[in-house]
Each structure stands twice: as structure tokens, then as C-alpha cells.
């Protein structure tokens, strides 16, 4: 922007900071308000500028002056990136930069939710007030709100953080998706602690390539990082290691020996693992602690390390991390389903090849007599991962039950066709498109030494078919099926 435009932009920020309202929906504009023409995936917000003007907008933020009426009474404010402009305006309106709490961002293909829960538990168990914005819900002391997106839209995010500030939280933990980073849904925010758990195949329907996917994730450590922030990355993941080596002074964590690099090492050693949990030895600088966690699986050991890295970034001492001995898990993340038959049934949100590998390898290490896995793939999402998910299940399951997940606007049978090549070589495959019936089939004949994992939906309370969401919860279906058996 030229200096003249910069002054115009600065003046607008000041006006918004005094309470001038901002909209991206032209139909909500009132006289004197600001309209931001954010380009969307399908429609450019600029096409709604005439409606915003008709409704009395005093300011319009847009990329260019194309089509701007000569007789417009509103002031046109040019900005090269209206999505980022919206974030800056939200920060001004909600005074986000003045919030006294620390902001933690957790990104990665898998492990975001569990890591966010672990950080929340660390803070809460050490007497600190904390809020969370994530996949399962948005919450802070005294408030729990339904989550629509892992990372809410930009304006909503700033509004929720302002509510947390009023609740006097000392830290806010956010799950930050790659879509949110790419779409500037976190614009106007600067993270004091930035965590990346891993990068494995997902969302290529959106990003196109793994390189683009990594580039989106990397923005958490560049564009959206506060001065002096703590970066926490997993050196056991190749993409994270590459990024870790590019950030001097970052905290690296892993279960293997620390690689070469200019970072501080948070090293974990998995001493033992069983159905009852795991024993972890944690080494940081010249100190060592031991964690006896009821969580299961190597992937959860890495999630614990990620959370400890974030806790250190928030100023907690290493000894304070021992409270994780009493953290019993996250809804829908390898969650055991209590049932009248006493069978070993778990639901898990795993919906990527890597997540399935992590969960199924963890369960298989418990040496069940038979492992039955119910899974499907979401519609209108990355098709290339479908055979890979089938292969992951075939590698571990004694019985693979292929069914629907959230088919959305795709034919569920076509989705199953995409998965089927990956199931070649599976010990036994059952196909049942109806998810409720698939769960019933999986539980039929399940013995006391067997394990059934129902993967893909975890905590979700619906199944999306077409544009409609029907009430559906895997754990509830398990209980209903077994009560009727």
C-alpha cells in the first residue's frame, strides 16, 4: 500500500477500535458500518459491494477499485489481502493485542485435539485458568459452546478470545487447522507458543500437494508468531524436523535420539507400554522426570511431549508436568465404550492413514485375540488417501469392516470402491454401507479377549449425508446394539 493508503488504513483501524462495526455479509450491513469484500473459494465478496453500499456502508475494504461507482458515498479502502485485513480489524475491534493471556496454537495432521486437551489439563491442574478453541468444543471457565469448525472464522475467533479475556484466563489454547492458516482465519493473532505435532497425508483435495500443505502449516511459525515466541516441533516427523532446523532456539521433542540442529531438546523414552497405560522418562536440559500415563500408544507419548513443550513455553517448571499422571484421555480419542457386555470396544477419530496406523498399532500391541476395525472415508475430501486408509487397516486388522463415514455429497458406494484396492491382502473384509448395521456386524461374535475399534468419527454426534446432518454417535450405537443383543 502507498503511504496515503496506509494512512487511510490506519485511520480505519482506529475507527473500528472505537466501536465501528465490521461485516463480511453485505446483508447485515447497517448505515455507517464497514464492509470487507473477502474473496471466497467460490464467490468473491466484491460482487456484494453494491448491496453493501445500498445498505449504507461508510467504508468498503477491497483488493481493487474495479467496478467502484463514481457516485459512491462510502470510502473505498484498498488492501491487498481483505482476509488478512478482516483479522486486523477484528484485532482492533476486540482489542486482541491487549489481552493479558498467553496464546498457544497447535497445528499438525494428527494429535491437535489430544495435545490441546493435555495443555489445558497441565494449566488447570497447576491452578491456572485456561480456555480452548478446538474440534470438540470451545470452552473456558463456566462456558462450553458447540464447535462448528476446528478453528472458527476470523471474527468469531477474536470474539471468543475477548470472552476468555473477560473470564480472566491465563492461557488460551487453539487447534489451528491448515485451512485456517491458508484462509487467514487466524489473521490478527500472534501466538506466544506454536506447536506442530506431525505432517502426514490429508486435505490434498484442498492443498493439492504435500509441499503446499506444509507451507500452510509453516505459517504458524512465521506470519502468526509473537516476538520471542516458543516454537515446539516433533523431530520424529520428517517435515517437522525440517522446519525445526530452520527455527533457531526452538524446542524439539521426540522419542528417538535428538538429531543435529540448533534447538533445545525435550527427549522422551518410552519405558513400558500396556493396556493400562505407559511409563515415560522425560529429559529436559539437566533434569529428568517420570510420567505414568493411563494413555495408550506411541502417538500419545508424542502428544504428551508436545504438551510438555508447550507447558515449558508457558512458564511451567518441568516438575509441574507430573500432573499428567492423572490425565485420562479425550472424548472420541481411543475412548473405551462402557457397555453391558463388558466387551473391549473403542471409538476413535482417526480419519487419515497415519492416524489409523498409530491407533491400530497401539491396540495391536496389547495382543488382542482378534482385532475388528470398522472404518470408512469422508465424502468430498481427499480421494487419494482412501486406498492408503484401507492399507493401514489391512495391515493390522483381523477383520476389516468397510462402511460409510460422512459421505456428504458423494455416492458412498463409490467411496468404498476407492478404498477397496487398499484392502487387498486383508485377512477378512466385510462391506456394509449402513454404518449402524456395520457396527452391529462388527460386534457380533466379539469375544472377551477381542478388541473392536470403530474409527473415523470419534466424538461426533452426527452423520452427514448430502447436506443434512443426522443424529449419530458411534459410542451410543455400540451401547444400543449391545443392549438389544
Concatenating the DSSP letter of every residue in 101-133 gives SEEEEEE-SSSHHHHHHHHHHHHHHTT--EEEE
In whole angstroms, give the CA distance from residue 360 to residue 304.
Answer: 19
Query: What pLDDT was estimated at residue 135?
Result: 94
pLDDT digits 0-9 by tens, 225-238: 999 999 999 999 99
Name the one residue in this structure whose C-alpha cell is 472420541. 332
pLDDT for res 2: 42
pLDDT on residue 27: 97
> Which residues are CB-neighbours of 413 under 8 A, at least 6 positions away?
433
Residues 268, 331, 395, 381: is their CA dihedral positive or negative?
Answer: negative
pLDDT of residue 81: 95
pLDDT at 207: 65
Q: What pLDDT, on a 0 to 100 scale, did the predictor assign at position 204? A: 66
- 438 in helix, strand or coil? helix
Per-residue pLDDT, 376: 98
Residue 89's H or E segment, with its range, is: helix 82-94
How far is residue 119 from each of residues 81, 126, 157, 359, measured CA to CA in Å?
33, 11, 19, 21
Distance CA 23, CA 29 (A): 6
Mind listing the pLDDT tens digit for each residue in 146-180?
A: 998 889 999 999 999 999 999 999 999 999 999 99
d(CA 180, CA 37): 18
Q: Are 83 and 154 in contact (CB under 8 A)?
A: yes
Global pTM value: 0.89
pLDDT of residue 3: 46
Q: What domains are there in the chain, each with its CATH number?
A: 3-91 (3.40.1390.10), 95-326 (3.40.1190.10), 335-484 (3.90.190.20)
Q: Which three cell numbers stand for residue 317?
A: 517448571
* 194 bridge partner residues: 105, 231
Nearest by Cα to 404 from 364, 452, 359, 462? 462
Taking the chain (485 residues) in runs of 10, the rounded mean pLDDT of each run is 68 97 97 96 92 98 94 95 97 96 96 97 98 97 94 96 98 96 95 96 74 91 94 97 95 97 96 90 97 94 99 98 96 91 94 94 92 98 96 98 98 98 97 99 96 97 97 97 86
Give pLDDT, residue 1.
43
Residues ≥6 apart with Cβ < 8 Å to 82: 36, 37, 38, 39, 45, 61, 62, 63
State the pLDDT at residue 5: 55
pLDDT of res. 275 = 78
Name residues whose C-beta falls within 8 Å of residue 241's C-beta, 6 or more positions apart in sequence.
Answer: 233, 234, 235, 252, 259, 261
Amino acid at each position: 500500500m502507498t503511504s496515503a493508503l496506509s494512512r487511510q488504513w490506519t485511520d480505519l483501524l482506529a475507527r473500528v477500535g472505537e466501536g465501528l462495526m465490521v461485516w463480511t455479509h453485505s446483508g447485515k450491513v447497517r448505515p455507517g458500518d464497514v464492509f470487507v469484500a473477502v474473496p471466497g473459494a467460490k464467490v468473491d465478496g466484491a460482487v456484494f459491494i453494491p448491496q453493501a453500499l445500498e445498505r449504507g456502508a461508510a467504508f468498503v475494504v477491497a483488493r481493487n477499485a474495479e467496478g467502484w461507482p463514481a457516485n459512491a458515498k462510502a470510502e473505498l479502502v484498498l488492501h491487498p489481502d481483505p482476509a488478512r485485513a478482516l483479522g486486523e480489524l477484528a484485532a482492533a475491534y476486540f482489542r486482541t493485542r491487549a489481552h493479558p493471556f498467553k496464546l498457544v496454537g497447535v497445528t499438525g495432521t494428527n494429535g491437535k485435539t489430544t495435545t490441546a486437551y493435555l495443555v489445558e489439563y497441565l494449566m488447570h491442574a497447576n491452578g491456572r485458568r485456561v480456555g480452548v478453541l478446538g474440534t470438540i468444543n470451545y470452552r473456558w471457565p463456566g462456558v462450553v459452546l458447540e464447535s462448528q469448525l476446528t478453528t472458527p472464522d476470523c471474527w468469531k475467533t477474536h470474539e471468543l478470545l475477548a470472552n476468555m479475556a473477560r473470564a480472566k484466563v491465563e492461557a488460551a489454547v487453539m487447534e489451528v487447522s491448515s485451512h485456517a492458516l491458508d484462509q487467514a482465519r487466524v489473521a490478527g493473532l500472534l501466538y506466544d507458543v506454536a506447536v506442530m505435532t506431525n505432517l502426514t497425508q490429508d486435505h490434498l483435495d484442498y492443498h493439492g500437494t504435500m509441499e503446499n500443505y506444509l507451507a500452510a502449516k509453516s505459517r504458524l511459525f512465521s506470519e502468526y508468531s509473537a516476538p520471542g515466541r516458543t516454537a515446539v516441533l516433533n523431530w520424529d516427523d520428517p517435515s517437522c524436523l525440517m522446519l525445526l532446523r530452520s527455527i533457531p532456539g526452538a524446542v524439539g521433542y521426540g522419542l528417538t535420539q535428538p538429531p543435529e540442529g540448533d534447538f533445545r531438546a525435550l527427549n522422551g523414552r518410552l519405558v513400558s507400554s500396556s493396556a493400562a497405560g505407559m511409563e515415560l522418562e522425560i529429559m529436559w536440559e539437566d533434569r529428568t522426570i517420570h510420567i505414568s500415563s493411563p494413555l495408550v500408544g506411541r502417538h500419545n507419548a508424542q502428544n504428551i511431549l508436545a504438551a510438555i513443550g508447550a507447558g515449558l513455553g508457558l512458564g511451567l517448571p518441568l516438575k509441574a508436568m507430573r500432573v499428567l499422571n492423572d490425565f485420562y484421555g479425550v472424548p472420541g480419542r481411543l475412548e473405551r465404550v462402557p457397555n453391558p457386555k463388558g466387551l473391549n470396544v473403542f471409538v476413535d477419530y482417526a480419519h487419515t492413514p497415519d492416524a489409523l496406523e498409530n491407533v491400530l498399532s497401539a491396540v495391536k500391541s496389547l495382543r488382542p485375540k482378534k482385532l475388528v476395525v470398522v472404518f470408512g472415508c469422508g465424502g468430498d475430501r481427499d480421494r487419494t488417501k482412501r486406498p492408503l486408509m484401507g492399507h493401514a487397516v489391512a495391515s493390522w486388522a483381523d477383520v476389516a469392516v468397510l462402511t460409510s463415514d460422512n459421505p456428504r455429497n458423494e455416492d458412498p458406494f463409490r467411496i468404498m470402491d476407492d478404498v477397496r484396492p487398499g484392502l487387498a491382502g486383508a485377512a477378512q473384509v466385510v462391506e456394509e454401507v449402513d454404518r449402524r448395521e456395520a457396527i452391529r456386524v462388527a460386534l457380533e461374535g466379539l469375544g472377551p479377549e477381542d478388541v473392536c475399534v470403530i474409527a473415523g468419527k470419534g466424538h461426533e454426534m452426527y452423520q452427514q449425508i448430502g447436506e443434512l446432518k443426522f443424529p449419530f454417535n458411534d459410542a451410543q450405537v455400540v451401547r444400543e446394539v449391545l443392549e438389544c443383543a
